[in-house]
A and B are shown apart, each in its own frame.
Chain A
């Protein structure tokens, strides 16, 4: 057995009344890619965020490289060799790529307190090249880059020669195929050639099974299983891991099982010759009871289509029509029964500082008015109805949204529009960063909405869910639809990919 690099013993962590970790023991070894899998709120991110100095444990012991380990900050951990790439964006806006890469290390480039930007840029260019992301230029402002590129920049910043343990926390959901390849290559090189340790936190079972050498499964803050590579290769591994994660059989049903692509005749939403930004002359008709999926790489323009349909983009030409009215602003869109779930859950879809109830009722406030008053009783009723219907895990509607796990937050953003009774729902990456248990319930919800005659525009970076859920899939590339697929049992992801790249 390989030598241990980090040992965690009896770790406890609570957030208020929520127990995040219960007496967790885990040992990370040199040269391994350790997978950590579990549902949202299972504690998988918490373990590593404690080891990398982002927060501290309530009790327990950590031994890193043979010595007691208790980092106070992420920077301290990074300097000592434990780096973590976070799920959320973690770059500093308004400064250059090079300044981001060397944030906190400016001293290396300063003389008499003045930072030599030129040499910093050169060093950054060198690093970017080493990681195979030459298309990013060190001197550019970071704001010019997409979410994906910024994630890659974070990787370049985090990983140094001194890095002993690299924690990749749900990072791949933000990356396209190319970006993922860069990351996979890096972690294999680190583990296999440099004898370092990679901790791979993910929801994506395929990814975990393909790349990890050991796998730890967590549920409700406890380790419920550890699998060796051989066990991961066993034919029933996926089923076993799912069972461990959820703690019960989730059944075979996951995506829709019917192949009925019929829909009602009434048009729910019409995009007519939209021209804005890089999109030219785009048209689409969405009917009641129809699920149209949009797929493509990030930056292909599909997210912008969703925004435009909700009145969030300023159009140069064309119009969005819903219920016989033009839609130019979100206020008009909501009036016509459109709901929109942004890809950017924490910044756009939810008000994190507000409670679950306040978030759920927000779009419905105008209809809750009695005269000008809104009775708290009506708010509770509406919110509690949705909390029950969507099984949002919380102790009450008063709980703040920022205390919820990703999957439960996403349920809240669904609940807003369900409560409002929206007939057209535009969902951008509806299951991003959401675990299988919640995913399954989202898919059931989408199926149910289709049956109720609601129209759904589903924009997704996950081809499997488009194939699994949509009646019609539009694949976009370079701001144009390159191919249209109808729902069919014969449709394979591999048939689709070539139209994306």
Chain B
């Protein structure tokens, strides 16, 4: 009897954490695999050049995904993120060329991100529509603005002229900024009212609001936190080449979704949302990006392998959710 209940306990523990095991497992598997296999091919994934490649591959997605956790925790999806990055990059380059400094552009972008956050965060609950709808509208409006900007400039891409942007190519700076952002996000998400209330809202909107959680306030604050992370991501997106084009950021929202799901984030948000999902997911995919060509896989096959990894993680994650439904 005793043994039996222990076995049952073990099983439950396993299924409960299967999502986490699957997502961390994916990352650990990639790390172990590439650590062992890449030296056989004559080049270690841990070489400084490859690590630099890895950082530059992962940085934008990781910075964005960390912010997006605040939106996903609410159970919301935001598909305007890619276009936000596009707009911020364009603004930073344009304002940078006009003023000779990046600071005014960044400040302007933060202001813009707040306006967008208020629209995305508040219109859902206030107008009683599902939150993805305003984000679709915002995405289209931003596409329009970006098109107008580049049409007016008469070009499809713009480059910083006088400002030295080489610092943004530094892997060390990338790492430092990512660590700081993750630390701040973990603090906000786990040790403040906003993060706690956001998860409760995502898990059960009705009981959260009956317990004094202000839907509009918490949502807007979450979108603002996310928006600032997007601006930080846009700096690195723009800074790597010192340029912005009319297609910068296109599809980034999908990269975020993939990274978060891969990291074990429940798409419905709620209590099991974690900041670590963003980091784990983003690094898993970037490791595949950097590692697969090194082990001799043709670049054209990378997408298929990534899709298979994604599928496996999703299957394990969704299975654990079902077995997690406890009887009343």
Contact = CB atoms under 8 A, between A and B. Distances in A.
A173 interface: no
A45 B210 contact: no
A369 B193 contact: yes
B272 to A, nearest CB: 8
A358 B200 contact: yes
Interface string B204-220: 10111111111000000
A342 to B, nearest CB: 6
A331 B4 contact: no
Interface in A300-358: 310, 312, 329-331, 334, 340, 342, 346-354, 358
B12 A347 contact: no
Given A358-B196, A372-B192, A373-B192, A14 B8 contact: yes
A354 B203 contact: yes
A375 B8 CA distance: 33
Given A15-B326, A46-B327, A54-B327, A374 B210 contact: no
A464 B213 CA distance: 35
A421 interface: no
A362 B208 contact: yes
Interface string A82-106: 0000011000000000000000000
Interface residues of A, number: 48
A342 B210 CA distance: 9
A346 B327 CA distance: 13
A110 B203 CA distance: 39
B133 interface: no
User: What size tier do the contact residues of chain B reach?
Assistant: 20 to 34
A148 to B, nearest CB: 20
Interface in B212-237: 212-214
A362 B213 contact: yes
B303 interface: no
Contacts of A365: 193, 196-197
> Which residue, B200, B208, B210, B212, has most C-beta atoms of chain A within 10 A?
B210
B152 to A, nearest CB: 42
A174 B220 CA distance: 38
A349 B206 CA distance: 8
Interface string B249-281: 000000000000000000000111000000000
A66 interface: no
A440 interface: no
A402 B16 CA distance: 13
Contact of B200 (A340, A342, A347, A351): A351
A154 B99 CA distance: 70
Interface in B8-45: 8-9, 12
B182 to A, nearest CB: 17
Interface in B156-211: 187, 191-193, 196-197, 199-200, 203-204, 206-211
Contacts of B1: 12
B328 interface: yes
B271 A353 contact: yes
Nearest to A19: B5
A348 B191 contact: no
Contacts of B193: 365-366, 369, 372, 374
Contacts of B197: 362, 365
A58 interface: yes
Contacts of A353: 203-204, 270-272
Interface of A: 12, 14-17, 19, 45-46, 49, 54-55, 58-59, 87-88, 310, 312, 329-331, 334, 340, 342, 346-354, 358, 362-363, 365-366, 369, 372-376, 400, 402-403, 406, 416
Instruction: List the 3 shortest-distance A-B pairs measured between CB atoms, nearest first.
Output: A334-B212, A362-B211, A351-B204
Interface of B: 1, 4-5, 8-9, 12, 187, 191-193, 196-197, 199-200, 203-204, 206-214, 270-272, 326-328
21 contacts: A12-B4, A15-B8, A19-B5, A58-B8, A312-B210, A329-B214, A334-B212, A342-B207, A347-B204, A347-B207, A348-B206, A350-B204, A351-B200, A351-B207, A353-B204, A353-B271, A354-B200, A362-B196, A372-B193, A402-B326, A416-B211
